[in-house]
Structure 1
Amino acid sequence: MNRFIKTAVAAVAAVGLGLGLTACGSSSSSDDGLTKVTFMNYWTPDTNHIGVYVADQLGYYRDEGLDVDIVAVSTAGGEQAVSTGVADFALSTLTNVSMFDAQGGDLEMVMQVQQEPSAIWCALASNTSITRPKDFDGKTFATFGSSESDAVVKKMIQTDGGTGDYDKVTVGTSTFQALTSGRADFGGFYSTWEGVEADLYGPTLNCFAEQDYGVPGNADSIGIITADSTVQNDPELVQKFVTATQKGYMYAYEHPDEAAELLVKAAPEADLDIDLVKKSMQVIVDGNYWGDVSAVKDGSFTLGTVDTKSTQEYFDFLAAAGAYEDANGTVLTTAPQSTDMSTNEFVK
């Protein structure tokens, strides 16, 4: 799934709207003495989630005294679920947290998995009228309604010498379908998932990375979020969850094929293709997406560290493009500060 679905959800699910969610995420003790914890997925389980599933399957959470319930993402999104106490933790991005907090939210990232942007902007290779981002001018963009994606696409086109003028069509959940049906000419994907899927099974795409066309920082800061109140009131719980989750992602980075098999087994409802999952993990490892592999191995980089510098560069870019709004819909000209919505105190 494209990251911009979740960003749009975070912006639409305004803080305090009361979407009928029943609080069930507050931790409690199970019959065997373990602390019950609810974790909400970002979307359908994929390799972004793999460390959580590995930690659960290999007993890392149980070793920390936790009984973790992994639940499907709600319509309102993981950000809203964590804010209202429906979930204790969720997978999200620091960009989503910044959008949510700009509207009065109270979220915090306690562990960042993805250290490099993976967004790619693609057209079908059969569409010979698009050979570079400049060619997006006058074409139709398959959008999920996100102001973030508009800012990124416009910047890429203008950096490549175009005007940044394009048409848009709002799609549901499949950008692939929008392109192959002719409803749209280009759209956004993840190189680590949809890009892999296209390589394995088609359709053949012609893609461009946003960082090659003027978009600064890391837009795809995928990691673990929780509520500020949880960090303040139950730091021991946060530490236990982060410790086990780090261990799960470390295992996946060091044993990608074995982790892929664990994910497929643990998430049968997702009907994951094992070849896709294994290839995705290999792309993640080869691309150092979770941090330089050699640096992780020699201990000079700790997997899970929140990179406030690259995320802030991206937030500043979004603010300059007018992509942030407060709860009243007023455009914010000052970017949220990544250091105010993240911490590395639990990353060991």
Structure 2
Amino acid sequence: MRKITALLIIIGLLSIPLAGCNQTPQPAPNEKLTKVTVLLDWLPNTNHTGLYVAQDKGYFKAEGLEAELLQPGEGGTAQLLAAGKGDFGISYQEEVTVARSEDIPVVALAAVIQHNTSGFASPVERGIKNPGDFAGKTYGGWGSPAETAMIRALMTKYGADFSQVKMVNIGSADFFTSMHKGIDFSWIYWGWTGIEAEQRDMKLNFIKLRDENDSLDFYTPVIIASETKLRDNPELAQKFLRACSKGYEFAIKNPEEAGRILLNNVPELDQNLVRASQKYLAREYQADAPRWGGMKQEVWKKYADFMFENELIKKNIDPEKAFTNKYLP
């Protein structure tokens, strides 16, 4: 699973609070659903399962929403949402931090996965055991400034020269194909690509970011929206997040059935990979958080400070404006 760009989600209809219970509102039989567009960060995978579950189980519809899934396009999710090209999107804390430092007004609404399971992976024969070994190697990525920033910062820690890394934009090419076409290492999610490597019996060296620095245990991926969208239609965000929360909570409790739902919607995915990945992520979506999606200010501050101190962003950000938990149920 990598950084990705597009998926699904939406909701709309007032909730009816009752004493002692939290009922899901049901739209009137002939009520027109509100269409919501969701931009994925990458091709569909188990990072996005909760969205597909919310669609399949009618959680979006119960909120009066009709979700439209959009595949990755030109530009990052943050830039597209800020330009009004979608309602919600799948992004990651590093993209939001860079965007906020450049006065691009996007806000993270929920953490899809509570802890950072991503890192830099390479076949063991490439001999890349730590970021210092990136020198002289070729990196395959998706052309994000966050990638360049992260690689430079990690190499600096080891006294290595970033200019010795060849950066190649591989677009939507998968990790395994790229490794056979001159790429030495890439940024992956262990819960998808790492598990697939295990199934292929491919030995990897994996540099987990949060092991390199606890400031790198950031939220990735996250659900985001623009400040304009939140200001103009806060109820839409509440409905959207209620449906998303139910979708991911279902995936946590029922990974096998959630995997089947994802496969029904994206049948070209490998069944064994989806099953194994879904089982792995069922423990990671919420992990040790009191509720799915919740985020902590200290996580946002530590990562923003890391970025600023390593000159990866030109100005620091206000963490309180970069994320919010107020739309979560």
Q: TM-score, normalised by structure 2?
A: 0.83
Deviation at 1:215, TM superposition (A): 5.7
1:280 maps to 2:280: no
Q: Is the 8 A contact 2:94 2:146 kept in 1?
A: no
5 Å-filtered alignment, 1:251-262, equals: 251-262=250-261
- In the TM superposition, residue 304 of structure 1 has moved relative to its aligned partner by 1.0
Judged with a 3 Å threshold, the aligned counterparts in structure 2 of structure 1 residues 338 and 205 are, in CA distance, closer, same or farther, namely: same
* 2:180 paired residue number: 180
Partners in 1 of 2:318 and 2:199 — Cα distance? 39
Moved over 6 A (4+): 27-31
1:72 deviates by 1.9
CA deviation after TM superposition for structure 1 residue 259, in Å: 0.5
Tell me: CA distance 1:80–1:55, structure 2 relative to 1, closer, same or farther (3 Å): same
**TM-aligned CA deviation for residue 38 of structure 1:** 1.6
Give the CA deviation at 1:224: 1.6
The secondary structure found in structure 2 opposite 1:36 is: strand
Structure 2: gaps of 5 or more residues = 14-26
Separation in 1 of the partners of 2:252 and 2:186?
29
| Contact map agreement 1:111 1:306 (CA 8 A) in 2 | yes
Tell me the equivalent position of 2:285: 290
Tell me if structure 1 keeps the 8 A contact 2:140–2:170. Answer: no
Distance 1:277 1:197, change over 3 A: same
In the TM superposition, residue 262 of structure 1 has moved relative to its aligned partner by 0.3
Give 1:340 shift: 0.6
- Conserved 8 A contact 2:242-2:328: yes
Tell me, yes or no, if structure 1 residue 141 matches structure 2 residue 139.
Answer: yes
Q: Tell me by how many angstroms 1:52 deviates.
A: 0.8
- Provide Cα deviations, 1:314-336, integer angstroms capped at 9, x if missing partner: 12111222222xxxxxxx1x321
Q: Aligned residue pairs: how many?
A: 307
What is the Cα deviation at residue 154 of structure 1?
A: 4.1
1:41 is aligned to 2:30: no
The 5 A counterparts of 1:193-232 are 193-214=192-213, 216-232=215-231
Tell me: CA distance 1:94–1:154, structure 2 relative to 1, closer, same or farther (3 Å): closer
In structure 2, the CA distance between the partners of 1:207 and 1:151, relative to structure 1 (3 Å rule), is same
Cα drift, residue 110 of structure 1: 1.6
The question of whether the paired residues in 1 share the 8 Å contact of 2:132 and 2:155 is answered with yes
User: Does the C-alpha gap of structure 1 residues 221 and 278 become closer, same or farther in structure 2, counting only changes over 3 Å?
Assistant: same
- The one-letter amino acid of 2:51's match is V
Preserved contact between residue 121 and residue 187 of structure 1 (Cα < 8 Å): yes
Aligned pair in 2 of structure 1 residues 83, 120: CA closer, same or farther (>3 Å)?
A: same
Q: Percent identity?
A: 27
Give the stretch that moved more between structures: 252-261 or 232-241: 232-241
Please list the CA deviations of residues 37-65 of structure 1 after superposition, one character each: whole Å capped at 9, or x if unmatched: 22222211111111111000000011111
Alignment partner, residue 23 of structure 2: none
1:71 matched to 2:70? The reply is yes
Partners of 1:176 and 1:189 in 2: CA distance: 11
**Residue 167 (structure 2) aligns with:** 169
- 1:155 shift after superposition: 4.2
Contact 2:209 2:216 in 1 (8 A): no
Deviation sequence 1:142-166 (CA, Å, 0-9, x none): 344444333433444454x553453
* Structure 2 residue identity aligned to 1:2: R
2:129–2:207 CA contact under 8 A, matched in 1: no
Instruction: Tell me, in whole angstroms, the C-alpha distance in 1 between the residues paired with 2:43 and 2:316.
Output: 30
Aligned twin of 1:130:
128
| SS state at 2:151 partner | helix
Kept after mapping to 2: 8 A contact 1:117/1:221: yes
CA pair 99-134 structure 1, distance change in 2 beyond 3 A: closer
Greater Cα offset, 228-237 or 59-68: 228-237
Query: Which residue type is aligned with residue 320 of structure 1?
Result: E
